[in-house]
A = this chain, B = another copy of it.
Amino acid sequence: MLYRNFTIKVFIMLNLIPEPCCTLEISGAEQEKLVRMFKALGNPIRFEIMKFLVTHPGCITGDIVTFLPIAQATVSQHLKVLRQAGWIEGITSGPATNYCLHEANITWFRQKVGAIF
């Protein structure tokens, strides 16, 4: 990333690309997290899971498996992606796991998108 920023400055000095009109306040780990959140919701099944969790907060994995026309292993995999991206959080209760939206991260996502674009 340091190399990239240096390259940009050289290119601007040489007039190879136009002057930037403004600056952006995202890069590094924050940007990676944002891209990961975008990627996670860029899948129809995972979007459907998120919608289900909005209307069924605190439900367990089995409810989602019953709701969706795909195998339990696949649902578990999608939940892992959503969890690692920060969209949801799972709370273990006995052998089951209750899932709900990660409100703080969702708010962060909205704020970042609003600030950048």
Q: How far is the CA of A81 from the CA of B114 in the complex (A)?
A: 22
Q: A34 near B: Cβ within 8 Å?
A: yes
Q: How far is the CA of A90 from the CA of B115 in the complex (A)?
A: 23
Closest to A31 in B: B47
- Chain A residues with a Cβ closer than 8 Å to the other chain, count: 47
Chain B nearest CB from A110 CB (Å) reads 6
Q: How many chain copies does the complex carry?
A: 2
- Find out whether the CB atom of A47 lies under 8 angstroms from the CB atom of B34: yes
- Which of B24, B44, B67, B110 is close to A110, meaning CB atoms less than 8 Å apart? B110
Q: A116 near B: Cβ within 8 Å?
A: yes
- Find out whether the CB atom of A17 lies under 8 angstroms from the CB atom of B56: yes
- Find out whether the CB atom of A66 lies under 8 angstroms from the CB atom of B20: no
